[in-house]
Amino acid sequence: TGKCYHTFRGHSAEIVCLSFNPQSTLLATGSMDTTAKLWDLEKGEEVATLSGHSAEIIALSFNTTGDRIITGSFDHTVAVWDVGTGRASTSCFISQLDLYEVNQSKAATQCPCWSVQLWNAVTGTHIATLAGHRKEVLDVCFDYAGQRIATASADGSARVYSAETKQCIAKLEGHEDEISKVS
């Protein structure tokens, strides 16, 4: 119908990322105000504010069971939060500045050498380097099952990698200019 059911207000700066909980009616928003908020979509109310980052939250995602949310920030940290309590259960330092995407327990960051770094977001351990682009990677996206990772690049191509093997399984070429987003 296109009808707006709720307008959520509460952040003091721009919202730059959001994620729907796959198991409930919660929506999470991440903001330049350094907080994430959980919202009840049916009631139209704020459920919790997740505070602890010292810089903008630029990526967030619920895990598949919906009981945890992972946030990534320009403060170079990734935090895992308990959805029920709104408290951080773990936090780790990620050395790359440009955090693109978080999903379940992984974080993807851009590297100056035109690749993507894959991290264990709970321990901060480096998992793999996803290479192959000829120019800067502009966006990264995990699929909903966490099985594939897609990248978009200034070289005009997109690539799909297996999360298990870390190998490129598809090269998507044909654009004449950069690809800025992938989903």
What the block records as the tokens of 153 is: 């690049």
- 160 contact partners, CB below 8 Å, separation of at least 6: 148, 149, 150, 151, 168, 169, 170, 172
Q: Which of 167, 104, 179 is closest to 137 using CA atoms?
A: 179
Query: Beta strand 115-120 with 126-130: parallel, antiparallel or unpaired?
Result: antiparallel
78-136 residue pLDDT tens: 888 899 999 987 776 665 434 555 565 666 665 555 788 887 766 667 888 899 999 98
Tens-place pLDDT, residues 28-78: 999 999 999 999 999 999 999 999 999 999 888 887 788 888 888 888 788
pLDDT at residue 161 in the model: 95
Domains, the chain, ranges and CATH? 13-93 (2.40.10.480), 104-182 (2.40.10)
Residue count of the chain, please give it.
Answer: 183
The rounded distance, in Å, linking the Cα atoms of 97 and 75 is 8
Q: pLDDT for 77-93, tens place per residue?
A: 888 889 999 998 777 66
